[in-house]
Amino acid sequence: MPPRKLLVFSIIFFFFHSSAHNVSFDFPSFSLRNFTLLGDSYLRNGVLGLTRELGVPSSSAGTVIYNNPVRFHDPETNSTASFSTKFSFSITNINPDSSGDGLSFFLSPENRTLGSPGGYLGLVNSSQLTQNKFVAIEFDTRMDPHFEDPNDNHVGLDVESLISIKTGDVMLQEISLKSGNAITAWIDYKKDQEKLKIFLSYSNLKPDNPVLSVDIDLSKYLKENMYLGFSASTEGSTELHLIENWSFSTYGFLKLRSRLNPHNVSDNTVMMTPMIPARNSSSNDHKRLGLGLGIAGPAFFLVVLVVFGYVSLRKWKSFKTQKSFKSDVLAGPREFTYRELKLATKGFHSSRIIGHGAFGTVYKAFFDGSGTIAAVKRSRHSHEGKIEFLAELSIIACLRHKNLAQLQGWCVEKGELLLVYDYMPNGSLDKLLYQEQQQPGKGENVLSWSHRHNIAVGLASVLTYLHQECEQQVIHRDIKTGNVLLDGNFNPRLGDFGLAKLMDHDKSPVSTLTAGTMGYLAPEYLQYGKATEKTDVFSYGVVILEVACGRRPIERETGGQKMVNLVDWVWGWHSEGKIIEAADKRLVGEFREEEMRKLLLVGLSCANPDSAERPSMRRVLQILNNEAEPVAVPRLKPSITFSCGLPLTLDDIVSDDDDEYEIKITSV
């Protein structure tokens, strides 16, 4: 074996045989780097929220999962670890009369655990009660006879079922789960005793007596690797579930070194060197030789280690940028090899091209090994393109929402940057929305009113998440129908974060380059090049007007050359009191008139020229979910003036490219 490989093998062997499988971590506060957020969960100011924060009763479910699986079973010794965890949580409710349903701490072999709202605690799907496998501790705030709950203030041990194996009455320790106060929970499972105990306290001091003690052997439920997390749910309630901090540790695994010696019964065994009796005086030479080898051996090992370290350091420096980039995303999506992606796309063959993003070409990829289909985005070979591509990856790798394009993985090889997304069988919204115009007479319009309304709500939900529920606010800056992808059920997925900006909530991003698509850009963004959440709101307003009307943001007038602005066109109908006339005629009236009217008015309120009059995306979501009153929209479109004008005409800044109007101008 070559010396370098021998050294690497020796180092790996040394660390492997002297380490244990036990893990431990502590999160005084939380960040997106370490967790996956599913459903309605969110992160704000280092605190995890599991259900939607609304002023009116609603149904909600959310899950937060620690990204790294934890080892609970050692197949070499067929042993299962013990574990201890401690976390602080609070359950608040602005309307105490609308209680329910509670939260849970769970262990699951799956990292996509998300269930239904209501009594299902976000753990299981209401239609597939036996599908999700889990061990969970529930903190239940609603009495549900269906799950044999004893009362509306209890804890319980749930094993692959929401009917608890055993429950404990929290009021016996004078604790109310829904008091709104911070409650600290301790959960201890000792494998050797086959006992699980749960403790609760309003303080940080662990009480002497548990609120629940269960005699149980969890060995057959704790797989080799398990994911940990929290889930919660509501149904017709304003209950809010927060996790403030969390620590966790496993213990009980023997060190491998001790396992190799059956006589070692303690991890603290002292290794003794056996005495070798002296044979005679002639053995002094052998002693000197042994002493020399004892000194020279470690010295040689040290020299080789230094050389190896030096070579590795030089190699690391040569790939410093790439390594830095990788470190930001290792905890999230997987890394693909260039060869994998090349084979899956037939060498990036032109027949596999399914679209073009702002800074890359998108290919359809078939992975023979797994039988899965994905979309691979390949960067253009320009300095600007690579910078924007890295920006897209660094942002989206940290985000989790059901209406975001899901990133499967990435690749940085051969001077190229590639992203691998879930494949969206129904393509982009703009292609479906205008397919009849592109191919007249070929088939019926597949986007029904229910699909369109669902798209509007889904986009409002994900923009609420980006603007208000992330630890750092994300301004997308390029919201348009071409960047809205549709899955097999026509659910929207917002993609293409190449122009997005990540920022703190108390700062405003100011770009020196205005970028986006003409027709979707807010007036103040065009004027000053300053992107805020309200510029995204404007773009969203244009998109949902497109969805409702079936017209592009800027179109040539039928039979003429005059350009018609969609916002102006809809506002014209509104000023005449006939806004329903703006509805897409291809729907042939198959829509709910009240929903259509509301969607058109929300679109106009979002596309208001005055940014101060635009609603927040949270308010838009509440309106579309019938949880808030619509914003009043003036009959006449408001006018807005700036202190200085752009030194460019519309012809200067707009280029007609495949019926899309792209704009990129230096701001003033």
DSSP structure class, residue 350: G
Confidence label for 230 from pLDDT (cuts 50, 70 and 90) = very high
pLDDT at residue 276 is higher than 80: no
pLDDT at residue 185 is higher than 80: yes
CATH code, 327-422: 3.30.200.20
Q: Which two tokens stand for residue 241?
A: 């579930």
- Asked if omega into 487 is within 30° of 0 (cis), the reply is no
Instruction: Quick: pLDDT tens for 293-341.
Output: 566 666 676 777 777 776 666 555 545 545 444 544 444 578 899 999 9
Confidence label for 285 from pLDDT (cuts 50, 70 and 90) = low
Residue with tokens 């509805």: 583
114-131 mean pLDDT:
70
- Considering 234-243, 261-270, 293-302, 657-666, the range whose residues carry the highest mean pLDDT is 234-243
Q: 377 labelled as ligand-binding?
A: yes
User: What are the φ and ψ backbone dihedral angles of 440, each rounded to 5 degrees?
Assistant: -55, 135
250-262 mean pLDDT:
57
Q: DSSP readout, 595-658?
A: HHHHHHHHHHHHT-SSGGGSPPHHHHHHHHTTSSPPPP--SSPPP---SS--SS-HHHH-EEET
- Domain 327-422 and domain 436-666, same fold? Reply is no
pLDDT at residue 133 is higher than 90: no
pLDDT at residue 443 is higher than 50: no
User: Under DSSP, is residue 133 helix (H, G, I), strand (E, B) or coil?
Assistant: coil
552 contacts: CB under 8 Å, gap ≥ 6: 434, 519, 546, 566, 659
Confidence label for 369 from pLDDT (cuts 50, 70 and 90) = confident
Cα–Cα distance for residue pair 200/187, rounded to 1 Å = 9
pLDDT at residue 514 is higher than 60: no
The CATH fold of domain 436-666: Transferase(Phosphotransferase); domain 1 (1.10.510)
DSSP structure class, residue 469: I
Cα–Cα distance for residue pair 316/320, rounded to 1 Å = 6
DSSP structure class, residue 225: E
Residue 536: the pLDDT is: 93
Long-range contacts, stretch 336-344, CB < 8 angstroms, 24+ apart: 336/409, 336/410, 336/411, 336/418, 336/420, 337/411, 337/413, 338/411, 338/413, 338/414, 338/416, 338/418, 340/367, 340/411, 341/365, 341/376, 341/411, 341/418, 341/420, 343/368, 344/368, 344/374, 344/376
Higher pLDDT, 203 or 21: 203
Confidence label for 647 from pLDDT (cuts 50, 70 and 90) = very low
pLDDT at residue 351 is higher than 70: yes
Q: Which two tokens stand for residue 600?
A: 């058109």
Alpha helices in 264-370 (DSSP H): 284-318, 320-327, 338-344
Confidence label for 457 from pLDDT (cuts 50, 70 and 90) = very high
Instruction: Quick: pLDDT tens for 53-62.
Output: 877 777 888 8
DSSP structure class, residue 269: P
Cα dihedral sign, 447-448-449-450: negative
- Considering 152-166, 385-399, 546-560, 628-642, the range whose residues carry the highest mean pLDDT is 152-166
Instruction: Quick: pLDDT tens for 533-569.
Output: 999 999 999 999 999 999 999 887 776 668 889 999 9
Residue 223: the pLDDT is: 87
201-220 mean pLDDT:
93
520-534 mean pLDDT:
84
Q: Which of 399, 342, 401 is nearest to 366 (CA)?
A: 342
Confidence label for 370 from pLDDT (cuts 50, 70 and 90) = confident
Confidence label for 642 from pLDDT (cuts 50, 70 and 90) = low
Residue 257: the pLDDT is: 42
Higher pLDDT, 355 or 615: 615
List for the chain the helix, strand, coil content (%; round to 5). 30, 30, 40
pLDDT-wise least confident of 53-67, 166-180, 214-228, 487-501: 487-501
Distances (CA, A) of 89 to 144, 208, 515: 22, 20, 42
Instruction: Quick: pLDDT tens for 423-437.
Output: 888 888 988 888 745
Neighbour count for residue 503 (Cβ, 10 Å): 18
Residue with tokens 């103040």: 524
pLDDT-wise least confident of 264-278, 313-327, 434-448: 264-278
H/E stretch holding 102: strand 102-108
pLDDT at residue 419 is higher than 90: no
pLDDT-wise least confident of 124-128, 150-154, 232-236: 124-128
Residue 48: the pLDDT is: 93
- Considering 127-131, 445-449, 603-607, the range whose residues carry the highest mean pLDDT is 603-607
Confidence label for 667 from pLDDT (cuts 50, 70 and 90) = very low
pLDDT at residue 438 is higher than 50: no
Q: In what order do the strands lie in the sheet with 360-367?
A: 334-335, 407-413, 416-422, 372-379, 360-367, 353-357
Domain boundaries, the chain: 20-251, 327-422, 436-666
- Percent of the chain exceeding pLDDT 70 equals 72
Residue-averaged pLDDT of the chain: 78
Answer for the pair 607, 640: CB distance below 8 angstroms, yes or no: no
608-622 mean pLDDT:
93
Q: Which two tokens stand for residue 162?
A: 């929401």
Dihedral of CA atoms 515, 520, 523, 525 in degrees, nearest 10, equals -30
Residue 332: the pLDDT is: 56
Q: Which two tokens stand for residue 44?
A: 């704000």
453-479 mean pLDDT:
89
- Considering 98-102, 254-258, 395-399, 449-453, the range whose residues carry the highest mean pLDDT is 449-453
Cα–Cα distance for residue pair 424/399, rounded to 1 Å = 18
pLDDT at residue 412 is higher than 90: no
Answer for the pair 34, 331: CB distance below 8 angstroms, yes or no: yes
pLDDT at residue 193 is higher than 70: yes
Higher pLDDT, 113 or 159: 159
Q: What angle do CA 63, 65, 70 make, to 5 degrees?
A: 150
590-608 mean pLDDT:
95
Neighbour count for residue 652 (Cβ, 10 Å): 10
> Which CATH number is 20-251's, of 3.40.50.261, 2.60.120.200, 3.40.50.80, 3.65.10.10?
2.60.120.200
Active site residues: 478
Residue 263: the pLDDT is: 41
Half-sphere exposure of 481 (CA within 13 A, CB side): 25
